Amino acid sequence: MAKQHDVRSLEDVVVKFVGDSGDGMQLTGTLFSEVAALAGNDLATFPDFPAEIRAPHNTIAGVSGFQMHMGKRKIYTSGDMCDVLVVMNPASLKSNLKWTKPGATLVIDSSTFDEKTIGKAGYTENPLEDGTLDGYHVIKAPITDLTRQSLEELGVDKRLAERTKNMFVLGLMFYLFERDLEKPLEFIKMKFSEKPKVVQANQTAMKAGYHFAESTEAIKITFRVDPAPMKKGLYRNITGNVATAWGLLAASEQSGRPLFLGSYPITPATEILMELSKHKSLGAKVFQAEDEIAGICSAIGASFGGSMAVTTTSGPGLSLKSEALGLAVITELPLVVVNVQRAGPSTGMPTKSEQSDLMQALFGRNGECPLMVMAASSAANCFYYAYLAAKYAMEHMTPVILLTDGYLGFGSELFRIPDVKDLPSIKPPMADPNDANFKPYRRDEKTLVRKWAVPGVEGLRHRIGGLEKTNIDGNVSTDPLNHQLMVNIREEKIWRISDYLPLLQVQGDPEGDLLVVGWGGTEGALASTVSRLQEEGHKISHAQFNFIKPLPKNTREVLKRFKKIVVCELNAGQFVNYLRMLYPEYTYYQFNKVQGLPFHIQELTETFIKLLED
């Protein structure tokens, strides 16, 4: 007779897998997410792993996690508090129970809760027995022991048996969420196709976990999350870093300019370099330089030679690139600099996310050194903003800094793959070798953009370099009046890009009591919070900035229509001070968080309610 249990239908659910760094939580979460996507759920994910390469085993410093938020409606963030927490050791429980909702379901590997591991996690008593978990729905299972038992007949060694316990967990979770095993079993077969024994062990462990869940009386409830209504198309689950790489590839194809990436590996941006290195067949040239300075200088050289040039980095690397950025500005060459921001200063917290580099992007160079600054706001739209960064860099002959962050770069969401022919056109201003009047700094009267002259082409000889040039002719000059002219032109050229930017959009009414302002990767949390408060009848709206310099032309018009403006940032207040510089006539409230963590809906809700009531 089949086991009796209740089925609970959910609008959305937040699930987190946590364990020691060697427990395979990233693969577990990724595979669980892939199955959810195939089932038609919308989702967003975020992996959380330690900065230490070899943190001590079974300690809080070594806890690795993977959080995913799935639903039958549009999902904007990887979620706040967990509805289901999968715990592989005491340290994982210690560090993550505070992020779990009261009454949540906890799936716990009780095999790992011995006196030694409990003590290393900082507990004085066994949390499974001392009342710590009262109020939760706890599914205690000796997962490690059961995995070993399930593999005894295969004759696998102890190490392989322990490494497959994450597959046992997946099997259990697939039962808990009424998912079929067919797709994940096929995935295992493909991933480890050259290691048949590993395939057999992982598949056996997954089936064992599913069958355990079927038979145990500890599981009294299973969850059902129906498919989300989504526009027809080809989708895939994509991280922000991969989306960024794809956007650059699409821009190269659309512009007809070959892609060159010169970069140095740095967390959390390295995956862009790794992804582009796979696409030699699409014409991408990838150079892993010996340091950050060599990376950007190689890209500037490629831009001088007519390539769509890119360099990728994080905050510390952007610091090192700043002098070369000045070279790109004064030579007026197109260059895309992708900065996947992380917590600083210096090395800071390299696996944690912040919006900490805005002021550096705007002003972090010597001299009057203007360039365009943009920011992506979701893992999926990293594709579009990388594409646009390349478009504006080439069409306006300027470096463009594209700010993403670790939360976007490592996080993932469903991405509807576009047709490249449907993307905006990209028309680089290439110099005509047949133009008898060619001058290197002769400009378009409307945009102030000079022509892109590729060296070695008959008729396009010109001088280029880090010294100031005369306008039109491009001769080296120390004339003070010419320097003033060129400084003004380079600044004005950037602000004229606003004529080609989309206007700032407002989520909600165009006027009201409170405007919530954000920029970059905070969009999901801010939009979700504002939507809920709007449903409750509050006169609150939301504006998210993706274009920072220049700002959209209607920015002042949007700001003046609200009684209060609150600027929310994952830093100490960089964008709000930038707004104060440009629009000092308004009063700005602030909500800042500098913890290496994203915004939570609850903290935002409390802040906005207080502002609305005061």
Burial tier of 137 (Cβ tally within 10 Å: 0-12, 13-18, 19+):
middle
Tell me if 507 is assigned to some domain. Answer: no
- Flag whether 1 is in a domain: no
Check whether 159 has a pLDDT greater than 90: no
Domain annotation covers residue 229: no
For the segment 322-341, the average pLDDT, to the nearest whole number, is 98
**Strand pairing partners for 482?**
none
Q: Is residue 230 part of a domain?
A: no
DSSP 76-144: -SS-SSEEEEEESSHHHHHHHGGGEEEEEEEEEEGGG--HHHHHHTT-SS-TTTSSTTTTSEEEEE-HH
- DSSP secondary structure letter of residue 186: H
User: Has residue 101 been placed in a domain?
Assistant: yes
Same domain, residue pair 465 and 539: no
pLDDT at 528: 96
Task: Indicate whether 271 pLDDT > 70.
Answer: yes
387 and 291 fall within a common domain:
yes
If asked whether residues 443 and 548 sit together in one domain, one would say no
Average pLDDT of the chain to the nearest whole number: 95
Look at residue 421 in the predicted model and tell me its pLDDT.
84
CA distance 600 to 409: 19
Query: Does residue 3 carry a pLDDT above 70?
Result: no
Could you give the 3-state DSSP secondary structure of residue 75?
A: coil
Domain closes at, from 382, 407, 422: 422
Based on the fold, state whether residues 112 and 258 are members of the same structural domain: no
**575 lies in which domain range?**
512-613
Q: At what angle do helices 25-38 and 182-191 cross, to 10 degrees?
A: 130
Query: Is it the case that residue 1 has pLDDT exceeding 50?
Result: no
Distances (CA, A) of 149 to 19, 142, 157, 168, 175: 21, 11, 12, 11, 20
Where among 395, 422, 449 does a domain terminate?
422
Instruction: Report which of residues 4 and 394 the model is more confident about.
Output: 394
Tell me the C-alpha distance between 501 and 234, whole Å: 28
- Same domain, residue pair 538 and 592: yes
pLDDT > 60? residue 424: yes
Domain of 525, CATH number, reads 3.40.50.920
Residue 392, pLDDT > 60, answer yes
Which of 377-386, 394-403, 457-466 has the weakest average pLDDT? 457-466
Supply the CATH number for residue 295's domain.
3.40.50.970
How many Å apart are CA 504 and CA 552, to the nearest integer? 6
Per DSSP, 374 falls in state E
What is the three-state SS of 380-447? CCHHHHHHHHHHHHHHCCCEEEEEEEHHHHHCEEEEECCCHHHCCCCCCCECCCCCCCCCCECECCCC
Any idea what the Cα angle at residue 447 is, between residues 443 and 449, rounded to 5°? 40
Is 405 in the same domain as 482? no
Q: Are residues 334 and 440 in the same domain?
A: no
The pLDDT of residue 53 is above 80: no
User: Would you say the C-alpha torsion 312, 314, 320, 322 has a positive or negative sign?
Assistant: positive
Percent of the chain with pLDDT over 70: 99
> Which range (46-60, 192-206, 299-313, 578-592) has the least confidence?
46-60
The domain total for the chain is 4
On whether both 263 and 333 belong to a single domain, the answer is yes
Asked if residues 122 and 61 have their Cβ atoms less than 8 Å apart, the reply is: no
Q: Are residues 76 and 102 in the same domain?
A: yes
- In a domain, residue 415? The reply is yes
Residue at which a domain ends, from 165, 196, 224: 224
Same domain, 528 and 565: yes
* pLDDT of amino acid 340: 98
237: helix, strand or coil: strand
The answer to whether residue 506 is domain-embedded is no
By residue count, the chain amounts to: 614
Is 162 in the same domain as 179? yes
Asked whether 204 and 168 are in contact (CB, 8 A), the reply is: no
Confidence of residue 425 (pLDDT cuts 50, 70, 90): very high
| Tokens encoding 323 | 């002098």
Residues 165-184: pLDDT tens digits?
999 999 999 999 999 899 89
% helix / strand / coil in the chain, to the nearest 5?
Answer: 40, 20, 40
- Asked if residue 397 belongs to a domain, the reply is yes
**pLDDT tens string 499-551:** 999 999 999 999 999 999 999 999 999 999 999 999 999 999 999 999 999 99
At residue 54 the predicted structure's pLDDT band, cuts being 50, 70 and 90, is confident
Instruction: Flag whether pLDDT at 350 surpasses 80.
Output: yes
Q: What CATH number is attached to the domain comprising 118? A: 3.40.920.10
Rounded Cα distance between 343 and 537, Å, is: 36
> Which tokens belong to 239?
């991280």
By three-state DSSP, how is residue 274 classified?
A: helix
For 573: left if phi > 0, alpha if psi spans -120 to 50, otherwise beta; the answer is left
Give the N- to C-terminal CA distance of the chain in Å, as an integer.
Answer: 60
Considering the domain architecture, whether residues 374 and 304 belong to the same structural domain is answered as: yes
